[in-house]
Structure formats: structure tokens, C-alpha cells
């Protein structure tokens, strides 16, 4: 246990962050502090309402809903929506949210705050008619104090105006509304400040770690003396560290004071991507013997380094960051945050061998960082997509000068204690990277970050990383970030002697899941130039990993270079998942991307298995494409494999030969004349069979198969089950060209939150109870209601055998 007395001692600078703490979001009560999930019981109106901030204005005819909420994803796709297909082709507008709530009379004399994790965008907030503030940034978290304006023991009205009407303001799908969680926080008048803990360590090893703990305490009472105690627990709940006290001193009202102390943790369990071990720190503020505030903070202990020649190491072990970039939307759920949907995405990526996430191109939901802490991902936490120059007409450049300092400070304070966060990024493909203004702005942003955290390197994602780049020339960044330009990796040290490298964005390979064109061994560059429209019937892209945009590369091209050089510390592929908006190489009627290794519905594309064969030790043998073609057509059969010397391919039990990877090959290929039947691939090592894979010619669609990722889910209105819908022939084979319309019905304590199929060209709403299959697959997302109980989900389609499954919410 650490016993600390408040002092006004100045904050000292510390070195590399080796142990970190973060605030654990949740709905809970602790001694002196209560944090309440404030998502339920809101009313919403799409469209402006005069005087809606006035509590006397009636909202009885408004829609009732729970947060998080994204109104754009509920709208209709149209090329005429101001967001344009680049922004997802969905509507924006103005929306109002209101909630009537009570704060008990017993809370009088305490401090009450409302915390918003994110509102897109330009939000104004009122309580009981009093304007609390305006925040233009749609991705930043913020807090307002409600205390002076509350009716304790009576009704209160919170009103939020969200203005996403002026578009385009984003280069991808933004969503609209209060799309992240909201919390009501009540504390004593002396309490730990917002985002008020910070930990750095020195001398970390497997034997011990020295922990330097800082805690900021806000005093809104009369002059007082308090004690701050922190107890560090291991994952089993055992106390594992204790420390000494600092002399006491009376503190003045309306000030923020900081405590600090050092303790030693013996034989620490180090946080890593394979074993993301988390401790728990419980900090208490006491007045005499009375606990007046409690603040719980999970803890991760680790150390890392970026080396000029050797690249990245974690806890002294060399490794590459094998990362992906992802936008913040959750496919058919839109921008509305859901922890289970995020967790599912990370589980899919983890199974591929991914160990890194770049938050492209904005601060993420705090829940993403919580999950990365728990699941073992290295995070590049990014602040801005633009500085003072525009990319979209109405984007953040309009607010950068006035708001960048506040927004960046809030991001660093909120996120600096996550063990998963190891890189700060101050910008993505900033237009001013070629302008002398970057010599001014980059150091300013770096100074803001360093004022709050000196423990992580800073980078900027540069799409023009040559000697004319003024961000790099400013000397402000610790890691030189390259977007693309994989052909220039090898000469990095010639260009930037003594500098450290990170591939901030790579690849941009293009694929449509389940669609194939021959021949597969030639590279297509679509579009010819980024500013030239590209039109092609069907808006499909072959899934052979042989199509790229002019600035990018195929997945194999980039990975071959990345794995070759130790000094290349890691990569973040564009992108892990398809996302709404930016439908390169096409525009309308496409409305979502083709970049993902995984499609919008969460179904892996074939290249997923190339990474799995390279990034994991699990046995992999993946052959494709499907085996339904016109007789006599020449078909290219690819195989990704590992842990084997060779693969032999058979067609209807006749050997088509043995293939082996040679040189830097990442796949093998046979060119086969199609005839119906069965393809069989067998991988062998030292003559022994490792894996066997079969692909059968599928017959006509005959039945539906349903499979849920989880059949037991939590009641309470937020948990989800993701149900995969497969169209099968009579023998149980997925029909690769099936596009049957499937209708869904649900009974019990759940509802259908959204539906999808991964088709980037579909204009059907996500918020309906039906979906066409796309290359034989579709998805239904089921969300629990408040009560526990049995849930029956049924799928029907004309001419097909129906299917149903039973879920349970507890």
C-alpha cells in the first residue's frame, strides 16, 4: 500500500514508459465515487428543433432510444447525399438528444459530471437550459461539470445538439450522433482529477520494476489536508506492492495538486502481445480515516524500444509489429460503438497473427484501447487527419488552429496509461508535409505531447517521405513514418542516416471476397491514377491479391520487403477490415471499401490466410478459388501454406503435381482445366501429411445453415451474437454464387441489430430483417434486450430448407 500526502511539488520528467495505468470504464459505485452508465432513456429527433435546449420544450413525440446511436447508418444510401460515396453515401443532418434524469438529494454537496466518449460532430450541450460547451471534434472525449445547474432530488434535462449537416467533412464514413458511451460521474469535492493518474517506471526486468506513481487530486472544498493511498494487486487479487508517505500540507480550495511516490514490484509479470498481463491499482483519497474517493486503474508492466538497426523489441525480445489500420465504423452497425463487436474484430485479427492496431485517423473509442490492453495489441494512437489545410471542404482544418491544443491534450491525458499504446501519431498524410508551415506546426504538436508524456515515440504518417518532407526535416518526430513507398524501404538509411523506421501505412491491396478473375499472375493497377474515374461493370475486384491502386502494392509485394530487413520495425496494413466509404477503385454504386483483409461483415478474404501462414505458428493450408466453373475453362488454383515442405493437388483423385515455395514465394499455383468434382490439397513435411483440404463442386442451393459465434450472451441490452448464414447444396457445400434472399425472424429477449453480407455495392438498408446472400454468405447481428431469456432465431428463403437456432441471454 502506498500512503501519499498532497504536495504542490512540480511534475518531473521521466524516461521510457515501462508500466502504465488506465481508467477502467464501467458502471459501478466505489467509496466516494459513482460512475453510472448514462446510455439509456434518451429521446432523439432528427432535424433541428427551435429552443430544444429549453427544458420546457416538449420532447414527448421524439423517438425513444438508448445510446450509443448513429443516425446516419439508419438512412438510405444515395449518390446524392452530401457525404458522397467517399463518405459512405449516407445522410448527415442535425440531430437533437434529450434526457430527463434525477440526481438524488443525498448527492448535494458533491460534484456531478457528464462524460462523453465521442459525439460526431460539432456538439453543443445544455443542462436545465444552461449551455455547458461546444466541441467540434467528432472523435474526442470530453467532460462537463453539471453541479451548479442541477435540481438535486428533482428533474433535470440534458440536451445535446449534434450538427453533421455541413458535408463533406470526412474522407470516410463518419457516422452521426452520440455514437460512443456517456457516463454520469459523482465524486466528493476532493477527488482524483479527470484522467488523473499517471505511472512511469525505470529498471524494469523480470526480477523487479521501479514504479513512479503520480496522482492529481482536485480540491473543490475549503482548505484541507488529505491522504492518498494506492494498493497494487495482481490478477488474483493479492497485494503485491507497498510504499511510503510524503509529508502533509494544507491545500487551498479550487486547486489541483499532484502526489508522487516510488515503489518496487518484485518479479513482475510483464505485459506482452502473447501474455497481456494486467495488474490493478486501487487509489483512495482519505480525509482522516474516511475514504472520500476511490479510483481503480488496471496496470500493465512492459518495456519496449525502437532501434535504428534492429527495429522493434518488447521486453528485450526482438519482434516486428504486425499491424493493421482500421477506421472506427463497425460495418453494418455503423459508427455506434459496441464492445462485443469490437472484440469480435480483434479476435478475428488475432487469429490471423495480427499484433498491432493503428487508430486511423483519429482518437479511438476508449473501449478499443481497453480491449487492446486485455488482448495484447500494440497501438499507434493517431490524432489528426488534417492540420490547417483541407482534405474535405468542411473537415477539421476549419477548427485546427483554435482546438488542436485542447484536443491533443485530452487525447494524451485519456490514453497515456494504456499499456497497449506505444506510438503517438500527430498526423496522417498531412498536406503541409511539403510546406514550410510544417516546420512550425510539427514541433508545436510534439511539445504538447511531450508536456504530458515523454515515454513513447512520436511519428507522423508521411505519404511523401522524401527529403523535401518538412515534418521529417523539423526533427519533431522520433519515428520516421512511411505510407507506402515499399520500394524505398531498403534505401531508408541512405536517405535518413541514424533515423528509426515505422511503416505507418502499407499495401492497399484490393479484393472482393469470393470473386475471381483469370489469369491471376498479372498485376492490375486500378484506377490508373488516383484522380481518374474508374468504371467497370459489376464493381468487383478479383480476390487473388493481384489488384492494387497506383500508390499501393499487393499484400505479398509489401510483406516480402517488410520481412527482409530487421530495421523495419513494423507495419500497419491498409486495412484490417473493409469500412464504409472510400470505395476505391470505384465510386457509386459502390459505397464501402475493398481494402480490407476481412470484408465488412467480418468474413475473411483469401489473403487472410497468407498472413496466417506467415504470422502464426498454427498449421495453415488454404486453397482457392471455389470449384464451380464452366467446363474446360482454365482456372488458377492458389495455395497458402506453412509448416510443410510441399503441397500436392488432386482433381477427382488424379494428381496434378507437387508444388513447393522457392525463394521468397508466399503462395504456389496450379493452372487447371476445370471439370466438376473434388479438388484435394495435401501438405506434407518430411513425407508426413500435415493438412488436407477439400473443395467440392457445389450443386443448386438447397438449404440454409446458421452458426452463432456465441450462443450464450449477456442480458442488459448491449451484448451481441453474430450469426453467419450459409447457403448450402443438398450435400452441405457452400454454393459460391448463391444470392438467395433470406428473411430473418426473432422471438424472445433480443432483436436484430443489423444485417450484412460483405457486398460493397448493396444498397439495402442494414436495419432490416432480410439480406441477400453474397457469394453464399450473409450475416445477422442479434442484440440482447434488458431481460434474460431464451431467443429463437429463424431464417427462411423461398425454395430452401429453413434453419433456426436457439440463443440464451443471462
Element (H, E) at 344: helix 339-352
580 within 8 A of 601, measured Cβ to Cβ: no
User: For helices 607-615 and 339-352, what crossing angle results, to 10°?
Assistant: 70
- The span from the CA of 138 to the CA of 121, in Å, is 4
> Which pLDDT value is given to residue 3?
36
**485 band by pLDDT with thresholds 50, 70 and 90:** very high
What average pLDDT does the segment 9-20 reach? 28
3-state secondary structure 518-555: CCCCCCEECCCCCCCCCCCCCCCCCCCCCEECCCCCCH
Q: Is the dihedral of CA 339, 579, 136, 361 positive or negative?
A: positive
**Residues in CB range of 460: below 8 A, 6 or more apart:** 425, 426, 427, 428, 430, 433, 442, 471, 472, 477, 481, 504
Instruction: Please check whether residue 764 is in contact with residue 771, taking contact to mean a CB–CB distance below 8 angstroms.
Output: yes
C-beta of residue 697 within 8 angstroms of C-beta of residue 713: no
Residues β-bridged to residue 728:
703, 734
The Cβ of residue 384 has, within 10 Å, a number of other Cβ atoms equal to 24
- Model pLDDT for residues 518-570, shown as the tens digit of each residue: 999 999 999 998 888 899 999 999 999 999 999 999 999 999 999 999 999 99
- pTM check: above 0.75: yes
Q: Which residues are catalytic?
A: 429, 505
Share of the chain above pLDDT 90, in %: 88
- Residue-level pLDDT at 249: 60
**Are the C-beta atoms of 162 and 119 separated by less than 8 Å?**
yes
9, pLDDT greater than 50: no
Q: Is 208 left (phi over 0), alpha (psi -120 to 50) or beta?
A: beta
Q: What is the predicted pLDDT for the residue at 253? A: 77
DSSP letters, 545-601, are: S-EE-TT---HHHHHHHHTT-TTEEEEEEE-SB--BS--TT--TT--B-S--SB-TT
Contact 163, 263 (CB under 8 A): no
Residue with cell 533515423: 499
Supply the DSSP symbol for 87.
G
pLDDT in tens, 426-444: 999 999 999 999 999 999 9
Cell of 602: 467480418
Confidence bin at 695 (pLDDT 50/70/90): very high
- Residue in the block written with cell 473537415: 395
Cβ partners under 8 Å of residue 679, min gap 6: 623, 627, 637, 649, 650, 651, 694, 695, 696
Whose cell is 432530488? That residue is: 153
Averaged over 230-238, what is the pLDDT?
Answer: 91
User: Please, what is the average pLDDT of the chain?
Assistant: 94
341's grid cell? 463487436
Q: Provide the pLDDT confidence category of residue 515 given band limits of 50, 70 and 90.
A: very high
Cα separation, 499 vs 480, whole angstroms:
7
Amino acid at each position: 500500500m502506498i500512503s501519499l500526502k498532497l504536495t504542490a511539488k512540480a511534475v518531473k520528467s521521466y524516461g521510457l514508459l515501462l508500466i502504465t495505468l488506465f481508467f477502467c470504464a464501467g458502471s459501478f459505485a466505489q467509496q466516494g465515487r459513482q460512475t453510472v452508465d448514462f446510455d439509456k432513456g434518451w429521446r432523439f429527433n432528427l432535424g433541428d428543433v427551435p429552443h430544444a435546449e429549453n427544458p420546457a420544450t416538449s420532447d414527448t413525440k421524439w423517438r425513444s432510444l438508448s445510446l450509443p446511436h448513429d443516425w446516419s447508418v439508419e438512412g438510405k444510401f444515395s449518390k446524392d447525399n452530401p457525404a458522397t460515396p467517399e463518405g459512405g453515401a449516407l445522410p448527415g443532418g442535425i440531430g437533437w438528444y434529450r434526457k430527463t434524469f434525477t440526481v438524488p438529494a443525498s448527492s448535494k454537496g458533491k460534484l456531478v459530471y457528464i462524460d462523453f466518449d465521442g459525439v460526431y460532430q460539432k456538439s453543443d450541450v445544455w443542462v436545465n437550459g444552461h449551455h455547458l460547451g461546444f466541441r467540434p471534434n467528432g472523435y474526442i472525449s470530453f467532460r462537463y461539470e453539471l453541479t451548479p445547474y442541477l435540481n438535486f432530488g428533482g428533474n433535470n434535462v440534458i440536451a445535446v445538439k449534434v450538427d453533421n449537416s455541413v458535408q463533406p467533412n470526412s474522407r470516410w464514413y463518419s457516422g452521426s450522433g452520440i455514437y460512443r458511451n456517456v457516463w454520469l460521474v459523482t465524486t466528493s469535492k476532493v477527488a482524483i482529477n479527470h484522467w488523473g493518474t499517471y505511472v512511469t517506471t525505470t529498471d524494469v526486468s523480470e526480477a523487479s520494476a521501479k514504479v513512479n506513481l503520480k496522482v492529481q487530486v482536485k480540491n473543490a472544498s475549503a482548505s484541507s489536508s488529505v491522504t492518498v493511498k494506492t494498493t497494487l494487486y495482481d490478477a488474483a487479487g493479492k497485494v503485491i506492492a507497498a510504499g511510503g508517505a510524503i509529508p502533509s500540507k494544507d491545500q487551498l480550495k479550487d486547486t489541483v495538486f499532484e502526489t508522487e511516490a516510488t515503489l518496487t514490484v518484485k518479479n513482475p509479470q510483464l505485459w506482452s502481445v502473447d501474455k497481456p498481463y494486467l495488474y490493478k491499482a486501487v487509489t483512495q483519497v482519505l480525509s482522516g480515516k474516511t475514504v472520500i474517493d476511490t479510483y481503480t486503474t488496471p496496470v500493465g508492466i512492459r518495456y519496449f524500444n525502437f532501434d535504428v538497426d534492429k527495429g522493434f523489441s518488447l521486453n528485450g525480445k526482438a519482434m516486428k509489429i504486425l499491424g493493421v489500420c482500421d477506421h472506427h465504423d463497425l460495418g453494418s452497425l455503423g459508427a455506434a460503438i459496441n464492445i462485443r463487436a469490437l472484440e469480435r474484430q480483434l479476435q478475428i485479427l488475432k487469429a490471423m497473427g495480427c499484433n498491432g492496431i493503428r487508430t486511423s485517423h483519429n482518437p479511438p473509442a476508449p473501449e478499443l484501447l481497453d480491449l487492446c490492453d486485455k488482448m495484447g495489441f500494440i497501438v499507434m494512437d493517431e490524432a489528426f487527419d488534417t492540420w490547417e489545410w483541407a482534405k474535405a471542404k468542411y473537415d477539421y482544418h476549419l477548427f485546427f488552429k483554435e482546438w488542436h491544443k485542447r484536443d491533443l491534450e485530452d487525447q494524451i491525458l485519456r490514453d497515456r496509461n494504456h499499456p497497449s499504446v506505444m506510438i503517438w501519431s500527430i498526423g496522417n498524410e498531412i498536406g503541409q508535409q511539403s510546406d514550410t508551415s510544417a516546420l512550425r506546426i510539427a514541433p508545436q504538436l510534439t511539445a504538447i505531447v511531450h508536456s504530458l508524456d515523454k515515454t513513447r515515440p512520436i511519428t507522423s504518417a508521411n505519404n511523401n517521405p522524401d527529403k523535401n518532407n518538412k515534418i521529417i526535416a523539423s526533427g519533431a518526430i522520433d519515428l520516421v513514418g512511411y505510407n507506402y513507398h515499399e520500394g524505398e524501404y531498403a534505401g531508408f538509411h541512405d536517405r535518413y542516416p541514424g533515423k528509426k523506421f515505422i511503416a505507418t501505412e502499407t499495401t492497399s491491396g484490393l479484393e472482393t471476397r469470393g470473386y475471381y478473375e483469370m489469369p491471376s499472375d498479372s498485376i492490375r493497377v486500378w484506377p490508373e491514377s488516383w484522380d481518374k474515374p474508374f468504371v467497370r461493370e459489376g464493381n468487383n475486384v478479383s480476390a487473388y491479391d493481384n489488384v492494387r491502386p497506383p500508390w499501393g502494392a499487393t499484400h505479398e509485394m509489401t510483406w516480402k520487403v517488410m520481412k527482409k530487413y530487421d530495421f523495419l520495425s513494423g507495419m500497419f496494413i491498409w486495412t484490417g477490415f473493409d469500412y464504409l466509404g472510400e470505395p476505391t477503385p470505384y465510386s457509386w454504386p459502390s459505397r464501402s471499401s475493398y481494402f480490407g483483409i476481412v470484408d465488412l461483415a467480418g468474413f475473411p478474404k483469401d489473403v487472410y490466410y497468407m498472413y496466417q501462414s506467415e504470422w502464426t505458428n498454427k498449421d495453415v493450408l488454404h486453397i482457392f478459388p471455389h470449384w464451380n466453373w464452366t467446363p474446360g475453362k482454365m482456372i488458377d488454383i492458389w495455395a497458402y501454406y506453412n509448416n510443410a515442405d510441399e503441397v500436392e493437388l488432386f482433381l477427382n483423385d488424379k494428381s496434378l503435381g507437387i508444388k513447393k515455395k522457392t525463394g521468397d514465394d508466399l503462395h504456389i499455383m496450379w493452372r487447371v482445366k476445370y471439370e466438376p468434382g473434388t479438388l484435394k490439397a495435401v501438405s506434407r513435411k518430411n513425407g508426413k501429411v500435415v493438412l488436407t483440404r477439400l473443395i467440392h463442386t457445389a450443386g443448386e442451393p438447397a438449404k440454409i445453415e446458421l452458426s452463432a459465434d456465441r450462443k450464450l450472451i449477456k442480458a442488459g441490452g448491449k451484448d451481441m451474437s453474430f450469426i453467419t448464414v450459409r447457403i448450402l447444396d443438398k450435400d452441405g457445400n457452400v454454393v459460391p454464387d448463391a444470392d438467395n434472399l433470406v428473411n430473418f425472424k426473432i422471438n424472445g429477449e433480443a432483436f436484430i441489430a443489423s444485417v450484412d453480407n460483405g457486398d460493397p455495392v448493396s444498397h439495402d438498408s442494414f436495419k432490416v430483417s432480410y439480406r441477400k446472400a453474397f457469394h453464399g454468405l450473409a450475416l445477422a447481428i442479434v442484440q440482447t434486450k434488458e431481460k434474460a431469456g431464451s431467443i429463437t432465431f429463424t431464417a427462411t428463403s423461398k425454395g430452401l430448407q429453413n434453419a433456426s437456432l436457439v440463443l440464451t441471454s443471462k
